[in-house]
């Protein structure tokens, strides 16, 4: 089956009724970039940059960022690439951040710590701007909660660009906190693009710890999460912003049709999931996905949504 799917890599990611979907990849290493491009990804929708620094004794320097970025961006020359700035969190906590926290205290998210160290943040922006990657480079801020954070990030990026004498690339934000969904109109005015992080968004909307196995991608089918997604799609449309989904739910066979039906047309998934997602998109009918998603929005439980999808859409092969 894997071989059969791999043989279909040249086929477009288009639904049975002709709706075009853009498939990108979530990566962190040059090896993942190679797998993604081999599997026909249209570039990278999420480059996670914190992973090389999980054992770092202090904030990474510009040279350390550059060394980590170089091989990944080199493998992506000429391709679309959305690089996410450092996203330290409780499940990705380097010793220099873990060190002075009171026992048991949760970090929640790393962005406020990053903004409290603008010198460290500027080092990453400078490394990214110097690495370039041509016209396809975009920069994305994770775990944004409010407009002030976006403005502060943009000021740092623009200052770094001015110092290097290069143009600042588009600055987008991840929507993965209920706080961001609640302020989506104001955030959309500040951002060049939006990317839905369904891993964090799902766990936060449902009050789960994302490390809990019960917080898996199937739970994005909860109507409360779907309503959050629908609000973000509407804001992206009214502000004419590109929107992608980069959480694992995009590769979940029951959730994928709901995301497509809600109007998400650009998906970024793990390289290993690309073949399956393309095949699933090609079997689905976009009009049917839209009808099912509209009905799912007014349900109350995830079980009802799973049942609805199972009844109205073809079972995944
Ligand atoms: C997400 O939260 O959905 C996401 C894509 O980012 P990460 O899994 O790296 O937190
Ligand atoms: Mg996240």
- pLDDT tens digits along 2-26: 899 999 999 999 999 999 999 999 9
Ligand 1 pocket, 172 CB below 6 A? no
Cβ atoms within 10 Å, residue 112: 12
pLDDT tens-place string over residues 61-109: 999 999 999 999 999 988 999 999 999 998 898 988 887 777 778 888 9
272 CA distance to ligand 1 centroid (A)? 16
Please tell me the pTM assigned to this model: 0.96
- H or E stretch at 37: helix 30-38
Rg of the chain over all Cα atoms, to the nearest angstrom: 19
The residue whose CA is least distant from atom 6 of ligand 1 is 197
- Nearest ligand 1 atom, CA 247: 3
The residue whose CA is least distant from atom 9 of ligand 1 is 48
Give the angle subtended at the CA of 251 by the CAs of 196 and 274, to the nearest 5°. Answer: 110
Q: How confident is the model at residue 120 (pLDDT cuts 50, 70, 90)?
A: very high
Question: Of 292, 291, 287, whose CA–CA distance to 308 is shortest?
Answer: 292
Task: List the beta bridge partners of residue 243.
Answer: 194
CB 10 within 8 A of CB 23: no
């Amino acid at each position: 089956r894997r071989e059969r799917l791999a043989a279909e890599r040249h086929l477009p990611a288009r639904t049975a009724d002709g709706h075009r979907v853009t498939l990108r990849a979530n990566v962190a290493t040059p090896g993942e970039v190679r797998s993604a491009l081999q599997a026909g990804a249209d570039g990278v929708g999420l480059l996670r940059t914190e992973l090389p620094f999980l054992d770092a004794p202090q904030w990474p320097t510009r040279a350390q960022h550059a060394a980590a970025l170089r091989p990944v961006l080199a493998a992506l020359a000429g391709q679309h690439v959305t690089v996410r700035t450092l996203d330290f969190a409780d499940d990705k906590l380097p010793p220099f951040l873990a060190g002075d926290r009171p026992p048991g205290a949760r970090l929640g998210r790393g962005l406020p710590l990053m903004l409290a160290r603008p010198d460290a943040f500027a080092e990453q922006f400078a490394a990214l701007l110097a690495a370039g990657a041509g016209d396809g480079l975009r920069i994305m801020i994770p775990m944004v909660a409010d407009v002030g954070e976006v403005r502060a990030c943009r000021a740092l990026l623009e200052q770094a660009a001015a110092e290097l004498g290069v143009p600042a690339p588009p600055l987008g934000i991840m929507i993965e906190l209920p706080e961001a969904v609640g302020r989506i109109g104001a955030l959309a005015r500040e951002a060049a693009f939006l990317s839905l992080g369904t891993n964090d968004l799902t766990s936060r909307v449902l009050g789960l710890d994302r490390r809990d196995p019960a917080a898996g991608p199937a739970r994005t089918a909860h109507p409360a999460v779907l309503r959050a997604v629908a609000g973000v799609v509407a804001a992206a449309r009214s502000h004419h912003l590109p929107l992608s989904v980069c959480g694992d739910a995009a590769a979940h066979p029951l959730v994928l049709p709901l995301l497509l039906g809600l109007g998400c047309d650009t998906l970024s998934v793990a390289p290993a999931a690309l073949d399956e997602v393309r095949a699933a998109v090609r079997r689905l009918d976009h009009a049917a996905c839209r009808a099912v998603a509209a009905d799912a929005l007014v349900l109350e439980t995830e079980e009802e949504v799973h049942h609805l999808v199972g009844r109205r859409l073809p079972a995944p092969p």
